[in-house]
Amino acid sequence: MSKLLIVNAEQADALFGDGGWDAVVVVGNTDALDAHPEIQQLVAHASGVDARIGREPLMLLAPGLAGGRLVLAPTGDLEGEYEDVRRYAEAAQAGVGIALRAGARAPLLVIAGHDDLRYSQALEVALLGAGHEIYTPFDVAGPDVTLGVLGLEDAPRANALENGRIAARDLCGGDPEQMAPPAFADYCVELFADTPVSVSVIEDQDVLVRDYPLLSAVARASFAVDRHAPRVVRLEYTGEGVISRNWFLAGKGVTFDTGGADLKIGGAMAGMSRDKGGAAAVAGLMATLAQLKPKGIRVVAELGLVRNSIGSEAFVPDEIIESHAGVKVRIGNTDAEGRLVLADVLSHLRESVGECENPVMFSLATLTGHVGRAYGPYSAVIENAVARGQALGGQLQMVSEIWGEPFELSRLRREDFAQVAARSPSERLLSSNNGASVNISRGHQFPMAFLLQAAGLDRHGAGSDQPIAYMHLDIAASAVEKRDPLYGQPTAVPVATLLSNLLDH
């Protein structure tokens, strides 16, 4: 794996080699670089002989500039009313990629900003794109890179965020053996050693079956294989001072999903080692907090780590299993396993809320194919009534836009509860229909209705003695690069959005 250090470069002579930079990467349109006439002059000369200047990313020989290399990474037209800040991430990724392939190991990033509010975080989002390009998986040797940034105001936060995103990519991208549940848990134990984040791991089969019955049903066929046996990882961070924000996060960590008895067929099993993107993103956020040590916040997370295996012990449709919250669930489809894992984890988090004020709960999951069918490569946020009353989903959506991780705001409806209503007197809930979510009306919304009831969160609605704001984030279509949803690089979405929502709003 590569190592990345992000530093604020001094303005004065950094462009001319002071500081050891070996390439200058300009992200944005060079006509906005009035503070750097030497770059504008080079670009003007080159434009006379190369029509690609300003249209596509490329490198110029630049004697006198750091490393003799000038990489231009234009964003294209930013004036279009439907454009967004992802233009900066895409341009930075392309530009830094050119610099690295040319041999640079200490590129200097120069961001040509824009005064539209859509681009208020353009520099930070460009860093996300650069980090995505620099990242190499933990099992691949990569270069160590120092990235200089002109005008970077908060280098510690930038480094903490990228380190959290690296952890999220590692955990999401590891193959079914590298990041099987025990290995995923071990990574977390090592990641949070000697940090303010406490870690506990539940691995005892009797305890899991007793306290996480739905999760254990999903893992039933994998218990007998030690390296695939399930784990629940609990992470807790409590900052110094008076606690003003209390967050509780549940992460779906299905390390491989065969579909179980409802076996995935027709090639649909490929890429299912990425079905742990929700747990990976939660761990990434906690890693960022461990490094930043923000005051006044408490964050508790549980990661449900299971392999949905097929075998003689596999759970099957029609089984009725009582959740941790005491709700009898009839299994409708074993390939709808993620909501079962989340329901028990959410129920434990519900019990952890205690007497704290204004708790906010999240579930993060690569849950449904339907979200991709509905929204393309975007994430979805669905609120319960308490969160909707506080406009928390709208706030998260606003933050996601300026950080280049756009969410669509979805809505829970009464029809969603009808989808999971009992079909017989023997159960209270049906976990799912017996078809793929992409073919089911409201396929990414109705799982929220199941989660609310199976986890006991329906007891904490707007009119209850203890309301809990709860948002479900379905990142199935955004957790991996859209260019290759099966084998592409994990994106670490939505670590940046969650961090900003927690600390800045």
Beta bridge partners of 306: 254
Nearest to 357 by CA among 461, 245, 496, 215: 245
- The predicted structure's pLDDT at residue 26: 97
Rounded to whole angstroms, the Cα distance separating 148 from 7 reads: 5
Q: Active-site residues: which are they?
A: 264, 339
155-173 and 277-292 helices, crossing angle to 10°: 150
| 14, 151 contact by CB (below 8 A) | no
Separation between Cα atoms, residue 92 and residue 169, nearest integer Å: 19
User: Which CA distances in Å does 292 have to 61, 155, 160, 297?
Assistant: 39, 11, 6, 12
Structure token digits, residue 41: 């002059």
At 12 the pLDDT is 58
Q: Where are the domains of the chain?
A: 4-153, 164-315+335-420+440-503
What is the CATH number assigned to the segment(s) 4-153?
3.40.220.10
DSSP letter assigned to residue 461: S
d(CA 2, CA 122): 24
| Numbers of helices and strands, H then E, in the chain | 15, 17
Strands (E) in 245-296, as ranges, are 245-257
Which two tokens mark 122?
């353009």
Tokens of 80: 């279009």
What does the pLDDT read at residue 462? Answer: 95
Single pTM value for the model: 0.97
302 — alpha (psi -120 to 50), left (phi > 0) or beta?
beta
Whole-number pLDDT of residue 263: 96
The CATH number of domain 164-315+335-420+440-503 is 3.40.50.2300: no
CA distance 329 to 331: 6
Q: What is the pLDDT of residue 34?
A: 83
How many Cβ atoms sit within 10 Å of the Cβ of residue 179? 27
Q: E strand or H helix at 184, and its extent? A: helix 181-191
Grouping H, G, I as helix, E, B as strand and the rest as coil, residue 116 is coil
Per-residue model confidence as pLDDT tens for the chain (505 residues): 778 999 998 765 788 877 889 999 999 988 888 888 889 889 988 999 999 999 999 999 999 899 999 999 999 999 999 999 999 999 999 999 999 999 999 999 999 989 999 999 999 999 999 999 999 999 999 999 999 999 999 999 999 999 999 999 999 999 999 999 999 999 999 999 999 999 999 999 999 999 999 999 999 999 999 999 999 999 999 999 999 999 999 999 999 999 999 999 999 999 999 999 999 999 999 999 999 999 999 999 999 999 999 999 999 999 999 999 999 999 999 999 999 999 999 999 999 998 898 999 999 999 999 999 999 999 999 999 999 999 999 999 999 999 999 999 999 999 999 999 999 999 999 999 887 777 788 999 999 999 999 999 999 999 999 999 999 999 999 999 998 988 999 999 999 999 999 999 8
User: Tokens representing 187?
Assistant: 């990574």
